[in-house]
Amino acid sequence: MISFLLKGGVVLLPILILSIAALAIIIERSIKYTTMRENAPDLGRHIIAHLKEREIDEVEQELEARYSPEALVLYAGFKVRNGTLENIDRQMESQALRCTAELEKNIPHLSSIANLATLLGLLGTVTGMIISFMNMQTSGISDPAVLAGGISQALITTAAGLSVAIPSLLFYNLFNQAVNRAISRMEIAAAELTSFFSGEKH
């Protein structure tokens, strides 16, 4: 492993650091999304069904026990259920924004890591080829062995950069899709609760 790093040159060190950062973000976000996952397929309708049965205490206890974004949004609106519809909407919107910010945390860094790793791999390719031609110019002969060191460095850094960039970009897109789905579920749940309270207040 050490010999592999030495062959890759100094450019391989920042690529290695980026790979550790990307792995840390992927693990942290995966754990976060797993703990915030909502098991109920349609939480809004589920809660409203209880509200229609006047099971107020049961609804409050159930929402308090859940940690999904839609549950937090519903709970924010439920706590001010005796206020105006505007206040209920405002509370749920505020909570939705907080949840969205938490869901999006660190995700943009994966895109930056993917771009940086690709560029660093390209830089390693260019420097490796420069070293190869300089060695050939110094030796004055076209011996393939003279070119091997620089070409090896170029290929290693290119492969390393792509090995970091590809999974980083993959998880960046996967996490963005997860965030968009969570936002849609929050919006649907909030709209359903607002609609129910609107009917109750008229």
pLDDT per position as a tens digit, 58-103: 888 888 888 899 999 999 998 888 888 899 999 999 999 999 999 9
Determine the Cα–Cα distance for residues 86 and 92; give it in Å rounded to an integer: 10
| Confidence band for 129, pLDDT divided at 50, 70 and 90 | confident
Please say if the pLDDT value at position 182 is more than 80.
Answer: yes
pLDDT greater at residue 30 or residue 3: 30
pLDDT per position as a tens digit, 99-126: 999 999 999 999 999 999 999 998 888 8
Question: Given phi > 0 = left and psi -120 to 50 = alpha, else beta, which region is 9?
Answer: left
The model's pTM is: 0.82
Q: What is the mean pLDDT of residues 130-144?
A: 65
CA 33 to chain centre: 9
Which percentage of the chain shows pLDDT scores above 70? 85
Torsion on CA atoms 97, 101, 107, 113, rounded to nearest 10: 120
Beta carbons within 10 angstroms of residue 201's beta carbon: 12
